[in-house]
Chains A and B, each alone.
Chain A
Amino acid sequence: MMDKAMRPLTLFYILIVLFLFFPILIVVPISFSNGRFLSFPPEEFGLRWYREYFQDPIWISATLRSVRVAISSSLAAVFVGTLVVIGLGRRRTRKSGALTSLFLAPAIVPNIIVALGVFILAIKVGLPDNELTLIAAHTAICLPFVILIVGSAYRQIDPTLEKAARIMGAGPVRAFMAATFPALAPSFIAASIFAFFISFDELIISLFVMSSAETLPMRIWNDLRFEINPTIAAISVFFVVITTATMTFAELLRRKAERRNRVPST
């Protein structure tokens, strides 16, 4: 009977995947429309809205600002997050458990609360509308995801190699760089890509911290509140392609590393 249940479940799965893909399926044809206004299905096809995006200095400067903030905060988060993973160590104690919850807390607390707090902080120290403030805030909200990704890779690595390096006389940093770092490299790439897109898509904190200097999500948000502009379809498609490609790449790397690093079970 349960195996008979698999047939309707197959149909259900297909329907749900279609539902999940629906926004992408809608946005693609719109982005390639050439009409002056939004119509579906588009009457003629072309690259008009892509040109509109790439030739508009406002869109491009917002995009570059987002890229700058996302690269800086993801690199900072991966660097700091890796140190946290090492500091927490492999063994789970009550103290490291409490510390882990502290580091993961920004993932549970709604971003709007962090946004309001950072906004108040920025005004108190006189740094509102400042990219550095935004980068620091994004680093904090990316940190939990980096710690989860790098941490799970770290725990899968066989610690004996690093111990062996230590016994052979390498200092702690050298032993780590020689024995553990290469095995962690794929998780760094995966974590930085993941963190990049968390920052790149983040709206609320940017909205609170920045005012005159807009990020890409802020530009889209300010645009969407007044009209439904096909340029946004072109931007969406452009970034869906980039995101899917890099995420797939990261996932493949992670799997490859997982296979290679798996501690032989005893």
Chain B
Amino acid sequence: MSKRIALLPGLAIICVMFLVPVGFVFQHGLFDPSFTTEHFTRFINRGAYMRIFWTTLQVSSVVALACLIIGYPIAYFIVRQPSRRRPMLIFLVLVPMWMSILSRTYAWMVVLGKEGIINQTLLWVGLIDEPLKLLFTTGAVYVSMIQIMLPILIVTCFSSMTEIDQSLMRSARIFGASPFKAFREVFLPLSLEGAITGTLIVFILSMGFFIVPALVGGRKDTMLANIISSQVSTGNWGFAAALSIVLLTATLLVMFAVRLFSSRFVHHQGETS
């Protein structure tokens, strides 16, 4: 059909600037010039690289779960408000996203630094005698990343929660369910899919994080994206490519595992309405 012609420019861009480059990454990671697993054996045998891999997985999971625990109640709060008040409440959550990640990381550096705001205040109050080490710590990475990711989770949860028919909760109450039971039996299962999607998005985006661990993390908070970048700057394309393959595969595996696991017990909107 003639309509398909319209796809050509898009396909061209995606092929040249996405598929071919990703193909090159796989080529450099797996061939040198003939097929080799040398880079992957190096990755597995060197404890340092495996540790960075686990750090990346751990940081991403903790950030995703923390965002879920904080963000779900926030989304629930907004959805339970009168509908004319909702846009303002969600707008306030979105505005911080319009500040670039670099600028926000800069702000945390200013706040957490040795001569930063928190340390200066604590010294001035007299609670401490010498500055605490807050910057270049794992805690700093978590705080900065949660600040960056939280709006994404709240918006995803919120938009799936707005689809839930509020009268279902009311009927549960009329039939004698306690408010908590109505929430647990009706609202929670229906909002679970959005919550899982949001958590997954946060996890996927966190896996590729680069700026935050480099600027506010310490040496042990290095993540995969950071060593990929440093391997490229030392000319180690092959190893950088292999690390990229590891990053991509791990991300996709977790994604499919969560999808498979959640499809077992998540109620779909369509089934109930």
Give the B-binding residues of A (Cβ under 8 A): 1-3, 5-6, 9-10, 12-13, 16-17, 19-24, 26-27, 30, 38, 40, 76, 79-81, 83-84, 86-89, 99, 102-103, 105-106, 108-114, 116-121, 124, 136-137, 139-140, 143, 172, 197, 200-201, 203-204, 207-208, 217, 220-221, 224-225, 228, 232-233, 235-236, 239-240, 243-244, 247, 251
Instruction: Tell me the nearest residue of chain A to B101, going by C-beta.
Output: A201
The 8 Å CB contact of B10, one of A81, A110, A116, A233, is A81
Residues of A within 8 A of B25 (CB): 113, 116-117, 120
Question: Chain A at the B interface: mostly helix, strand, loop or mixed?
Answer: helix
A-B residue pairs in contact (CB < 8 Å), sample of 21: A1-B178, A2-B182, A6-B80, A13-B74, A13-B78, A20-B151, A22-B107, A23-B104, A23-B147, A26-B107, A27-B107, A103-B10, A113-B22, A114-B21, A121-B24, A143-B14, A203-B102, A203-B210, A207-B229, A225-B214, A247-B98
Residues of A within 8 A of B228 (CB): 112-113, 116
Residues of B within 8 A of A79 (CB): 9
The 8 Å CB contact of B9, one of A40, A80, A232, is A80
Which among B33-41, B43-51, B89-97 touches the partner chain? B89-97
Q: Which of B153-212 contact A (CB under 8 A)?
A: 178-180, 182-183, 204, 207-208, 210-211
Contacts beyond the supplied A113-B244, A224-B109, A225-B215: 9 A-B pairs with Cβ under 8 Å: A23-B107, A24-B99, A26-B117, A40-B116, A112-B224, A116-B241, A117-B24, A207-B229, A244-B95
Residues of A within 8 A of B9 (CB): 79-80, 83-84
Residues of B within 8 A of A121 (CB): 16, 20-21, 24
Binary flags per residue of B242-268, CB closer than 8 Å to A gives 1, else 0: 001001100100010000000000000
Residues of B within 8 A of A201 (CB): 100-102
Give the A-binding residues of B (Cβ under 8 A): 2-10, 13-14, 16-18, 20-25, 28, 70, 73-74, 76-78, 80, 89, 91-96, 98-111, 113, 115-117, 120, 147, 150-151, 178-180, 182-183, 204, 207-208, 210-211, 214-215, 224-225, 228-229, 232, 237, 240-241, 244, 247-248, 251, 255
The 8 Å CB contact of B204, one of A30, A108, A240, is A108
Shortest beta-carbon distance from B13 to chain A in Å: 5
Residues of B within 8 A of A124 (CB): 24
Residues of A within 8 A of B120 (CB): 40
Instruction: Tell me the nearest residue of chain A to B103, going by C-beta.
Output: A236
A-B contact count (CB 8 A): 235
Bound: A1/B173 CA distance, A:
11
The 8 Å CB contact of A105, one of B13, B18, B21, B229, is B18
Check A116 against B244 for contact (C-beta < 8 Å). Answer: yes
Bound: A160/B98 CA distance, A:
38
Check A20 against B16 for contact (C-beta < 8 Å). Answer: no
Check B74 against A83 for contact (C-beta < 8 Å). Answer: no
Residues of B within 8 A of A1 (CB): 178-180
Bound: A121/B104 CA distance, A:
32
The 8 Å CB contact of B102, one of A217, A243, A247, is A217
Residues of A within 8 A of B10 (CB): 80-81, 83-84, 87, 103, 143
Bound: A80/B8 CA distance, A:
9
Shortest beta-carbon distance from A113 to chain B in Å: 5
Given A84-B10, A228-B109: A204 and B210 interface contact (C-beta under 8 Å)? yes
The 8 Å CB contact of A136, one of B16, B22, B99, is B16
Check A139 against B17 for contact (C-beta < 8 Å). Answer: yes
Q: Which of A22, A110, A225 has the most CB of B within 10 A?
A: A110
Q: Which 10 A-B pairs have the closest CB atoms?
A: A117-B21, A110-B208, A2-B179, A23-B107, A236-B103, A87-B6, A87-B7, A140-B17, A84-B10, A243-B98
Residues of B within 8 A of A10 (CB): 77
Residues of B within 8 A of A118 (CB): 17, 21
Residues of A within 8 A of B115 (CB): 38
Shortest beta-carbon distance from B59 to chain A in Å: 14
Given A40-B120, A113-B25: A106 and B106 interface contact (C-beta under 8 Å)? no
